[in-house]
């Protein structure tokens, strides 16, 4: 194999007529995000219902790949897929009182059908599926032999979101997976919330490359109807927290409301214990493109790139047909080898194509000119390091696989560094103020994440530019020594929490 590294090429900047993307992501994130969504064709915002967007192929292909990875991981941990109706009768929805109270303001209701006028019973367009699934769970679960029951469904949910919407990050319709598990004991249910968090780490951090901290949420910020909520928070380039999946310990709150009982081995009846887990793939996609993109555009991890490799023929008049034939054959060969490949034989100039596909985030570009054809080689450009290498066709498959892997590892390492650089600790209020100005996630001593800490959290938010208590790191090993005090009420700290601004 001949491998020659050449310097970063200048093709794009040499061609002055090409409009480049070039937006400073970290300092100008809002503009970066809005522009990349439009220019890379990730969402069409022109659909005429507020908060609802159209997903064109470039985002849809990637999102489907992400679903596939996520579902396989859930399967691996003993879950099985189901499909439930999208509508929930009002009588089901009303059964668990905390749940109703929490979700009622966000529900879309279907009230009439056809020409027959009002429906006898209003139907909620599911905002989440507890109240759709659990009446059936009470029929499915009879004895201890039916447990544990671990099911998930992939689909959409609808919530009437009052805050301003943003594609992928916050909308009125989102695409997600929801897992709903049932156990005989509280201990097993608690263990499931830890397993769900592990699944989040395995998929979101290790495969999609999005670093996060898993938090136990404060009492005042938990899922409606849950005993405890655990959620993964990542940091966006503008220094704000974004919540990724959350997992909820439901205890027996819902099983009592929906009569989910099982008979134990002695023939005695018990209420079951439950958990639910909700990775919103559309939002994870939004985080993924934000975390990995650079000032030139998107960078997809190799595994979830809509197209992994683009072939650009560099055509001269003399050798035109040879280069075209070689490129076509190369495309066929790589497709057979299982790569997602696109041959760009449009009549744009090569420099223009380079810019365009770099902006779209394709991990690898193959350039084919006369020399490559003559020597049975390809020139490989990788999107993350912008380095070029020349490689032989015979070993190309292995080379591409290893470059793809190395690219993903490299962008994950970069994302982790950015994340860790933005973690801070404050022992005084002055330090807290300084870190907040520098857009950090800050660990501080705190009185309590039980309800008696809520007033302090409100005051923190008011006095420190919207800073919010995100919770206790589930991997936290440090506990207050007794010296530390809550910054707000001055009472001895019971725990350390992270605070910061959120989406
Ligand atoms: Zn306090």
Residue 179 clears pLDDT 70, i.e. is over it: yes
At 224, is the pLDDT very low, low, confident or very high (cuts 50, 70, 90)? confident
Ligand 1 centroid from CA 201, angstroms: 31
Number of C-beta neighbours around residue 88 at 10 A: 24
Query: What's the CATH fold of domain 423-502?
Result: Translation Initiation Factor IF3 (3.30.110)
pLDDT digits (tens, 9 = 90+) for 112-158: 998 888 999 999 999 999 999 999 999 999 999 999 999 999 999 99
Across 148-177, average pLDDT = 94
Res. 479 pLDDT band, cuts 50 70 90: very high
Q: What residue spans in the chain does CATH classification 3.30.110.30 cover? A: 423-502
Ligand 1 centroid to Cα of residue 487, in Å, is: 7
Alpha carbon 364 to its chain centroid, in Å, reads 23
Give the distance (Å) from ligand 1 centre to CA of residue 446.
Answer: 6
Which run of H or E residues covers position 336? helix 320-336
Q: Hey, CA dihedral for 243, 246, 251, 252, is it positive or negative? A: positive
- pLDDT, residue 2, reads 44
| C-alpha of residue 226 to centroid of ligand 1, in Å | 24
Instruction: Kindly tell me the sign of the dihedral angle through the C-alpha atoms of 207, 210, 213, 215.
Output: negative
Q: 444 CA to middle of ligand 1, Å?
A: 11
Identify the pLDDT of residue 19.
72
Q: Could you give the C-alpha distances from 370 to 11, 319, 353, in angstroms and in order?
A: 17, 7, 18
435 CA to middle of ligand 1, Å? 20
Q: 16: which 2 tokens?
A: 């002055």
For 56-102, write each residue's pLDDT tens digit: 999 999 999 999 999 999 999 999 999 999 999 999 999 988 888 88
CA of 406 from ligand 1 middle (Å) equals 46
| 3 vs 16, more confident | 16
Contact 359, 39 (CB under 8 A): yes
Look up residue 440 and give its DSSP letter: -
- Lowest-confidence segment of 5-9, 129-133, 278-282, 394-398 by average pLDDT: 5-9
According to the model, what pLDDT value does residue 490 have? 94
Calculate the CA dihedral of residues 298, 302, 304, 307 and round it to 10 degrees: 70
The answer to whether 310 and 366 have CB atoms below 8 angstroms apart is yes
pLDDT, residue 17, reads 64
Say how many Å lie between the CA of residue 451 and the centre of ligand 1: 11
Query: Model confidence at 1, in pLDDT bands (50, 70, 90)?
Result: very low
Region 381-407: mean pLDDT is: 96
* Gap from CA of 193 to ligand 1 centroid (Å): 27
Name the CATH superfamily housing domain 307-406: Anticodon-binding domain (3.40.50.800)
Distance CA 304, CA 69 (A): 9
What value, to the nearest 5°, has the Cα angle with vertex 83 and ends 77 and 89? 125
Q: Give pTM, 2 decimals.
A: 0.94
What is the DSSP code string of 389-438?
EEEEGGGHHHHHHHHHHHHHHHHHHHHHHHHHHTEEE-SSHHHHHHHHHT
501 Cβ neighbours under 8 A, 6+ residues apart: 239, 240, 241, 436, 439, 465, 466, 467, 468
In this predicted structure, the answer to whether residue 5 has a pLDDT above a threshold of 50 is no
**Does residue 329 have a pLDDT over 90?**
yes
The arithmetic mean of pLDDT across residues 184-208, rounded, is 97
- pLDDT(324) > 60: yes
User: What pLDDT does residue 316 have?
Assistant: 82
Cα 492 to averaged position of ligand 1 atoms, centre (Å):
8
Task: For the chain, give every residue range classified as CATH 3.30.930.10.
Answer: 29-292
What is the pLDDT, as a whole number, of residue 407?
98
> What spacing in Å lies between the alpha carbon of 452 and ligand 1's midpoint?
8
What is the rounded distance in angstroms from the CA atom of residue 438 to the CA atom of residue 28? 15
User: How far does the centroid of ligand 1 lie from the alpha carbon of residue 480, in Å?
Assistant: 14
Fold for the domain defined by 29-292: BirA Bifunctional Protein; domain 2 (3.30.930)
Which pairing describes strands 149-158 and 173-183: parallel, antiparallel, or unpaired? Answer: antiparallel
CA–centroid distance, 472 to ligand 1, in Å, is: 15
**C-alpha of residue 491 to centroid of ligand 1, in Å:** 6
**What pLDDT does residue 16 have?**
54
Of residues 17 and 359, more confidence is placed in 359
Q: How far is the CA of 499 from the centre of ligand 1 (A)?
A: 13
431 CA distance to ligand 1 centroid (A)? 17
Q: Cβ contacts of residue 123 below 8 Å, gap of 6+?
A: 87, 88, 89, 90, 109, 110
Q: How would residue 20 be classed by pLDDT, with cut points 50, 70 and 90?
A: confident
pLDDT in tens, 359-371: 999 999 999 999 9
Residue 116 exposed, middle or buried by CB count within 10 Å (0-12, 13-18, 19+): exposed
* Lowest-confidence segment of 63-72, 298-307, 433-442 by average pLDDT: 433-442
Cα(465) to ligand 1 centroid in Å equals 17
303 pLDDT above the threshold of 60: yes
SS (H, E, C) 337-368: CCCCEEECCCCCCHHHHHHHHHHHCCCEEEEE
CA of 250 to the centre of ligand 1 (A): 27
pLDDT of residue 311: 98
pLDDT of the residue at 8: 43
Of 24, 52, 22, residue with least CA distance to 39: 22
- Is the Cα dihedral 446, 452, 454, 456 positive or negative? negative
Distance CA 305, CA 360 (A): 10
Q: What is the pLDDT of residue 482?
A: 85
* pLDDT value of residue 397: 96
């Amino acid at each position: 194999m001949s491998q020659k590294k050449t310097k970063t090429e200048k093709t794009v900047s040499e061609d002055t007529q090409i409009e480049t993307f070039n937006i400073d992501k970290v300092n100008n994130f809002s503009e970066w995000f809005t522009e990349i969504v439009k220019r890379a064709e990730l969402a069409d915002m022109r659909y005429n219902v507020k908060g609802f967007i159209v997903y064109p192929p470039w985002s849809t292909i990637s999102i489907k790949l992400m679903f596939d990875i996520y579902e396989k991981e859930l399967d691996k941990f003993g879950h099985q897929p189901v499909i439930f109706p999208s509508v929930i009768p009002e009588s089901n929805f009303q059964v668990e009182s905390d749940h109703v109270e929490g979700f009622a303001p966000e529900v879309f209701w279907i009230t009439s059908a056809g020409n027959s006028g009002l429906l006898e019973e209003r139907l909620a367009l599911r905002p989440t599926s507890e109240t759709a699934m659990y009446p059936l769970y009470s029929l499915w679960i009879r004895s201890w032999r039916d447990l544990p029951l671990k099911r998930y469904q992939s689909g959409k949910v609808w919530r009437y979101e009052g805050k301003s919407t943003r594609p992928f990050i916050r909308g009125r319709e989102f695409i997600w997976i929801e897992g709903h598990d049932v156990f005989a004991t509280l201990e097993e249910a608690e263990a499931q919330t830890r397993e769900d968090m592990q699944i989040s780490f395995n998929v979101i951090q290790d495969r999609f490359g999005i670093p996060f901290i898993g938090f136990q949420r404060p009492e005042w910020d938990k899922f409606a109807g849950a005993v405890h909520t655990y959620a993964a928070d990542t940091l966006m380039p503008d220094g704000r927290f974004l919540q990724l999946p959350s997992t909820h310990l439901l205890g027996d709150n819902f099983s009592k409301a929906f009569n989910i009982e099982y008979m134990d081995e002695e023939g005695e009846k018990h209420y079951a214990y439950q958990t639910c887990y909700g990775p919103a793939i559309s939002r994870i996609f939004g985080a993924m493109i934000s975390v990995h993109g650079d000032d030139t555009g998107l960078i997809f991890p190799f595994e979830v790139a809509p197209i992994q490799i683009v072939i650009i023929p560099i055509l001269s008049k003399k050798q035109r047909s040879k280069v075209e034939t070689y490129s076509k054959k190369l495309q066929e060969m790589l497709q057979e080898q299982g790569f997602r490949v696109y041959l760009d034989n449009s009549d744009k100039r090569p420099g223009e194509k380079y810019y365009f596909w770099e902006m779209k985030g394709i991990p690898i570009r193959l350039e084919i000119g006369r020399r490559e054809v003559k020597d049975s080689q390809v020139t490989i450009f990788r999107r993350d390091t912008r380095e070029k290498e020349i490689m032989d066709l015979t070993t190309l498959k292995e080379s591409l696989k290893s470059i793809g892997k190395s690219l993903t590892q490299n962008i994950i390492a970069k994302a982790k560094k950015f994340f860790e650089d933005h973690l801070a600790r404050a022992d005084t209020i002055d330090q807290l103020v300084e870190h907040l100005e520098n857009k950090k996630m800050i660990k501080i001593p705190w009185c309590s994440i039980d309800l008696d800490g809520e007033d302090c959290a409100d005051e923190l938010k008011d006095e420190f530019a919207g800073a919010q208590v995100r919770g206790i790191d589930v991997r936290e090993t440090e506990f207050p020594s007794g010296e530390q005090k809550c910054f707000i009420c001055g009472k001895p700290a019971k725990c350390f929490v992270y605070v910061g601004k959120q989406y």
